[in-house]
Amino acid sequence: MNYAMNYALETRGLCKRFGAIEVTKSVDLKIEHGARHALIGPNGAGKTTLVNLCTGMFKPSSGAILLNGSDITSVSAQRRVGGGLVRTFQINTLFNGLTVAENLAIPVAQRLGRSWKPWGRSSGDAAVAADVVRLMDELNLLALASKKIADLAYGQRRLVEIAIAMALEPKVLLLDEPAAGIPNGESGMILDLLERLPDAMSIVFIEHDMNLVFRFARRISVLVEGAVLIEGSVDEIRKDQRVRDVYLGRRHHD
């Protein structure tokens, strides 16, 4: 490999068709190590589809996906997680009948390779339990440890959604609208969390809340109708007329 630099995550000419409809059109995305990269675009621009393609929930029609330089296009979704590629969901996808601590013990045990042990405590051993406690402590979830997900408030569930991903200690983390559905006043809670993520972790996130995007992102890709319209730094995007037209446009024309 003679790349001067390989990317944490890269897509090359990624396409996805559902029947005759092309939802992803030759997307070339380059996510650097330690990136804070936002994917923005109007509804239906294909942002979530792109995340689904990267994490292996959809098979691409053509193109390639590279994780830390190696081709993972035909690797199963489950194996990609083992390679350090982890996502969260726009709609909470949690273990609803289990407690918060159990929700976190599952990914921690998985990461520490204890999840096949058919005896002993469900928390595995002291290492798993300690890690679960550390995570909950960091996210201020300790008080909720023994509550079942079904008994939590929406914002708290949103935190658990991200906490499960963090418990896997990913190299690349894809956040699909982490603040979705959270009232404006409470989105600070999510922002705090995002800002405390380790610097070495590469983060790609989809978000509609522009305040959040501009505060947290260092680079932004704008997706329109399945293709990347423009990619650049926060300032470049902020100034770009095309982005204003397409994405923020309506407000200006009113």
Partner 1 sequence: MNLQPRTLLPAAALPHYRLGAMDVLPWIAAIVAFFAFDTYLSLGAQILVMVIFGLSLDLALGFAGINTLGHAAFFGVGAYAAGYWNLHVSPEPLGGLLAGGMAAGVVGLLSGWLLLRTHGLALLMLTMVVTVLLHEVANAWGSVTGGADGLSGVMPDPLFGVFQFDLFGKTAYLYALGVLFLVFLVVRTVVNSPFGLSLRGIRENTRRMHLVGASVHLRLVAAYALSAFLAGIAGGLGAQITRTVSLDRLTFQLSGDILIMLIIGGVGRLYGAFIGIPLYMLMLDRAAEVNPFHWMFFVGLALILLVRFAPGGLMALDERRRRAAQEGTQ
Closer CB to partner 1, 79 or 218, in the complex: 79
Closer CB to partner 1, 24 or 52, in the complex: 52
Contact map string, positions 131 to 160, toward partner 1, x by CB under 8 A: -xxx--x----x--xx--------------
Whether 59 contacts 49, CB under 8 Å: no
Token pair belonging to 5: 């630099």
90 interacts with partner 1 by CB under 8 A: no
Instruction: Restricting to residues 21-60, name those near partner 1 by CB under 8 A.
Output: 55, 57
Closer CB to partner 1, 176 or 209, in the complex: 176
Identified binder of partner 1 from the candidate list 9, 81, 163, 229, rule CB under 8 A: 81
Q: Which residue has tokens 């609208």? A: 177
250 interacts with partner 1 by CB under 8 A: no
Part of the chain binding partner 1 (CB under 8 A), chosen from 2-10, 115-123, 189-197, 214-222? 115-123
Binding site for partner 1 (CB under 8 A): 55, 57, 77-79, 81-82, 86-87, 89, 93-102, 105-107, 109-111, 114-124, 126, 128-130, 132-134, 137, 142, 145-146, 164, 168
